[in-house]
Amino acid sequence: MTRLALDVGGVVRQVQVTRDGGRLVVDVDGRRHVLDAAATEPGRWSLLFDERHESHEVLVRNGQPGAWVVHVDGAVVPVRLLDPRRRDASPGGGSDTGVARIVAPMPGKIVKVLVETGVLVAARQPLVIVEAMKMENELRAPRPGTVTDVLVSEGALVEAGAPLVTIA
């Protein structure tokens, strides 16, 4: 059994994965999913969900250490492994204190900056839109807070892991 705390597109998820014969049992925030996972090539998977009779094509690309860019049926989802001992790994989105740094999940171009320094933001509020591989990715606030720094401007090119916005 593997237990993980993951930041999935700005939302903290508690994930548990176990094998049941040839199938995977994936528990996400208490919801159980049984699926067949077949690698179709390195980093590319075909997932068949038993309960919904749905299949999805998933491509996983490495980003910075402990982070991945996951393409699910063409939609881009940044995923980051959280240290389960940290407060931001708790269910419900984590701590409302400390500094949250929003970083680019992959190299790309800043299409739109949706906040400015000093603005109060809510959890999951869109902050920045990054275009990568002809797809726009909306990066959201992981928790409520005040924007203390906006480190990019529209049109800027960024590398994976580049700091974009800081929230305190």
- Based on the fold, state whether residues 50 and 111 are members of the same structural domain: no
Q: 78-97 pLDDT, tens per residue? A: 888 886 544 444 444 444 45
pTM here? Answer: 0.50
Q: 29-43 pLDDT, tens per residue? A: 888 889 988 888 888
- Based on the fold, state whether residues 77 and 13 are members of the same structural domain: yes
| Residue 89 included in any domain | no
- Based on the fold, state whether residues 6 and 77 are members of the same structural domain: yes
pLDDT band at 153 (very low <50, low <70, confident <90, very high): very high
* Total of domains in the chain: 2
Q: 81-140 pLDDT, tens per residue? A: 886 544 444 444 444 456 788 888 778 999 999 999 999 988 888 999 999 878 888 888
- Based on the fold, state whether residues 68 and 8 are members of the same structural domain: yes
| Residue 88 included in any domain | no
Q: Please give the Cα distance from 105 to 89 (Å, whole number).
A: 18
Residue 86, φ and ψ in degrees, nearest 5: -80, 155
Query: Which domain, by its residues, includes 156?
Result: 96-167
- Based on the fold, state whether residues 114 and 48 are members of the same structural domain: no
Between 143 and 165, the higher pLDDT residue? 165
